[in-house]
């Protein structure tokens, strides 16, 4: 078992096993299950992500009317070839928003690690699959990498917006996706750890300020930014850029920052963007509809 990123790295070095193998074997031990059963469960997660991606409905709106259709707009814009981010990142942005909208429309998604951050990991991994054609086993291994990172963050900080702000949701998802992408691109354990640390550092202090208390505005679009941040962080790490702050210290910093945040910035919908005049107008429209 492990309780920190350093633990995973140490166990990997001692056992001569990859990052994902350490995480997988810990899952097998904690759930008293076989390798086959563990991997089948992770495959199920991957399959649900793919199904949610493929079943997106661009004309569907959430019950509040605040979400829906933006993923379709991004898809149409990407088709023009004008997206300066390029084909891969353009698709990442599109998929992240689509998944967030599907969540708001009460469709089936994978909480990765939460429903509010459900678009980040699928956007990165499914776009990588489309462009780079990895094997299914590689994608499953990448999900173990993501899961290991998420478990450590959840245990040592939080994945709850109500406890730690949106840094705990989108931030955690971005770190998980960054590490997974670094693995898929052939990065070693150091690259995985640095990618996660770089991604999480960029999200520290992010408020959780949902308008009307709904996981829609600004949550859906934050999935897109979290996914792009993950891709950028993985590229930095793969280039050899190291986080000056260790991954575990970044996680501890997130915990401390979350504890110091006022309640108004932790999912109550009473501060930040949720307290703006625009938000009040949107809430008025919701109540009238």
Q: Looking at the predicted structure, is the pLDDT value of residue 206 above 90?
A: yes
For residue range 77-118, list pLDDT tens digits in order: 999 999 999 999 999 999 999 999 999 999 999 999 999 999
Cβ–Cβ under 8 Å, residues 177 and 227 = yes
Cβ–Cβ under 8 Å, residues 258 and 168 = yes
pTM recorded for the entire structure: 0.98
Torsional sign, CA 28, 196, 252, 164: negative
> Residue 266 pairs with which residues in a beta bridge?
208
In Å, what is the CA distance from 123 to each residue of 104, 108, 150, 163? 16, 15, 17, 25
Instruction: Supply the pLDDT for residue 288.
Output: 63
Distance from C-alpha of 214 to C-alpha of 102, rounded to nearest angstrom: 14
Helix (H, G, I), strand (E, B) or coil at 208: strand
Q: Looking at the predicted structure, is the pLDDT value of residue 287 above 80?
A: no
With CA atoms as reference, report the closest residue to 40 among 55, 27, 26, 22: 27
Percentage of the chain exceeding pLDDT 90: 98
H or E segment and range at residue 54: helix 35-54
Distance from C-alpha of 188 to C-alpha of 244, rounded to nearest angstrom: 18
What is the rounded average pLDDT of the residues 109-132?
Answer: 98
Q: What are phi and psi of 35, to 5 degrees?
A: -60, -45
Specify the CATH number for the domain of residue 21: 1.10.4100
Structural domain harbouring 32: 5-288
Contacts of 2 (CB under 8 A, 6+ apart): 8, 11, 22, 23, 26, 148, 152
For residue range 33-50, list pLDDT tens digits in order: 999 999 999 999 999 999
Average confidence score pLDDT of the chain: 97
Helix (H, G, I), strand (E, B) or coil at 133: coil
Instruction: Supply the pLDDT for residue 47.
Output: 98
Distance from C-alpha of 97 to C-alpha of 114, rounded to nearest angstrom: 15
For residue range 219-249, list pLDDT tens digits in order: 999 999 999 999 999 999 999 999 999 999 9
Q: How many residues does the chain have?
A: 289
Our count of domains for the chain comes to 1
Q: Looking at the predicted structure, is the pLDDT value of residue 286 above 90?
A: no
Instruction: Supply the pLDDT for residue 285.
Output: 79
């Amino acid at each position: 078992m492990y309780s920190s990123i350093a633990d995973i790295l140490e166990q990997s070095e001692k056992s001569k096993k990859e990052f994902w193998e350490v995480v997988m074997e810990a899952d097998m031990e904690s759930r008293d299950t076989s390798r086959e059963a563990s991997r089948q469960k992770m495959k199920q997660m991957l399959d649900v992500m793919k199904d949610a991606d493929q079943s997106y409905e661009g004309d569907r709106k959430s019950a509040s009317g605040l979400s829906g259709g933006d993923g379709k707009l991004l898809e149409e814009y990407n088709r023009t070839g004008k997206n300066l981010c390029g084909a891969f990142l353009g698709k990442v942005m599109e998929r992240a928003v689509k998944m967030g909208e599907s969540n708001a429309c009460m469709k089936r998604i994978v909480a990765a690690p939460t429903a509010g951050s459900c678009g980040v990991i699928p956007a990165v991994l499914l776009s990588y699959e489309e462009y780079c054609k990895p094997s299914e086993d590689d994608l499953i291994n990448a999900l173990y990498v993501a899961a290991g990172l998420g478990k450590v963050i959840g245990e040592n900080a939080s994945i709850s917006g109500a406890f730690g702000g949106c840094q705990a949701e989108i931030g955690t998802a971005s770190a998980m996706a960054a590490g997974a992408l670094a693995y898929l691109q052939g990065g070693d354990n150091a690259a995985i750890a640095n990618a996660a640390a770089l991604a999480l550092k960029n999200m520290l202090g992010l408020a959780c300020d949902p308008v009307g208390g709904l996981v829609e505005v600004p949550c859906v679009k934050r999935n897109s930014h979290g996914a792009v941040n993950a891709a950028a962080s993985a590229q930095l790490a793969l280039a050899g850029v190291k986080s000056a702050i260790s991954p575990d210290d970044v996680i501890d910093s997130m915990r401390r920052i979350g504890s110091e945040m006022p309640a108004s910035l932790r999912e109550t919908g009473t501060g930040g963007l949720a307290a703006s005049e625009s938000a009040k107008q949107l809430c008025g429209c919701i109540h009238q509809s």
